[in-house]
Amino acid sequence: MTVSQAATAESGISFKPLAPTFGAECIGVDFSKPVPESTIDIIRAGMAKYGVLVFRSTQLDDAGHVAFASQFGELDDQTPWMAPGQTYRLGKWTQLADVGNIEIDGKVVQEDSIRHQLNLGNKLFHVDCSYNPRRAGFSLLRAHTLPPKGTGGGTAFADARTAYDDLDAATKEKIANLVLWHSLWHSRRLGAPESELMRRIDPEEHGMARHQLVQRHEPSGRTTLYIAWHAFRVDGWTREESQPLIETLLQHASQDKYTFQVDWENDGDLVMWDNTCVMHRATGGTYQGKYPRDMRRATVLDSSPTAWGLNDQGAERCGLVG
């Protein structure tokens, strides 16, 4: 899929590259009314090329966010993470993950809280939902309320396609057929190594998912690494045997030349990325524990031939149990 110059010229939509190999700001989409399918096609083509698209000041509310995301496919929802009778902070919009730092009572999450400890894993490069049997495709993250400028809160991205391209031939041959086990609780432990709660969690007692390490990215036809700090071990290897290779590949793919950071500028900014070819991470900042950063994410389930990896189709997602 390519970005048609004729189609973009006719629609008034343009793409401003943000980094040498990936990422772009998408300009000219009118979010004040339902986005036409012709525009969705242009955005899909932009995603195939750039992997990350930034839309500034969309003015989308929760309903508009869900409606826009739904045009790209079936949405994930937060019900596996909700206890019976739990009141969800975002009300009926369970298709939106509450990934901000605000408690149900409206207070800012404090840095000594369990929720803050759990979220520290998000500061490691990862892809959304690789620990689920059916992985995530696109993620659409929207700033509902940003902290004061200068207090941080950016989101960094890493180009897994170009990182694969630049591997030497011997490494490509070595990893060509490897499968990784992905665990949410593994990355949570890595993100908060000093947490007594995290140390008590054994990832092997919870659900994991298997996905091929080297994959064809269907929309672009390019080969990519499908890796994240969720990666616990290589299938058929012990954790100790797997760790050096996993860490070497993650360090390679997160070099400065493969990364860039999006700085959120306005409430209503929306960033969309393809989890099947880029990694991302939260960069943190001095706002933590002091100022609200209300971020909401719609997650489009992957519908590619490798969406389910080597997992049983229909298997339960990660949640409060499992």
pLDDT, tens digit (0-9, with 9 covering 90-100), for 191-247: 998 888 788 888 988 989 999 999 999 999 999 999 999 999 999 999 999 999 999
Q: Smallest Cα–Cα separation from 297: which of 114, 22, 62?
A: 62
What's the pLDDT at 79? 92
Please give the Cα distance from 73 to 80 (Å, whole number).
Answer: 20
pLDDT, tens digit (0-9, with 9 covering 90-100), for 163-176: 999 999 999 999 99
Q: Are strands 231-234 and 24-27 parallel, antiparallel or unpaired?
A: unpaired
Q: How far, in Å, are 210, 233, 241, 270 from residue 236 at the CA level? A: 11, 8, 10, 40
Ranges of residues in the chain with a pLDDT under 50 are 6
What's the pLDDT at 5? 55
| CA angle (225, 250, 164) in 5-degree steps | 30
What's the pLDDT at 317? 87
5-301 CATH fold: Double-stranded beta-helix (3.60.130)
Residue 244: burial class (beta carbons within 10 Å; 0-12, 13-18, 19+): exposed
Residue pair 75/267 in contact (Cβ under 8 Å)? The answer is: no
What's the pLDDT at 2? 57
What's the pLDDT at 6? 46
Dihedral of alpha carbons 78, 79, 83, 86, sign: positive
Domain segments of the chain: what residues?
Answer: 5-301
Question: What is the value of pTM for the model shown?
Answer: 0.95
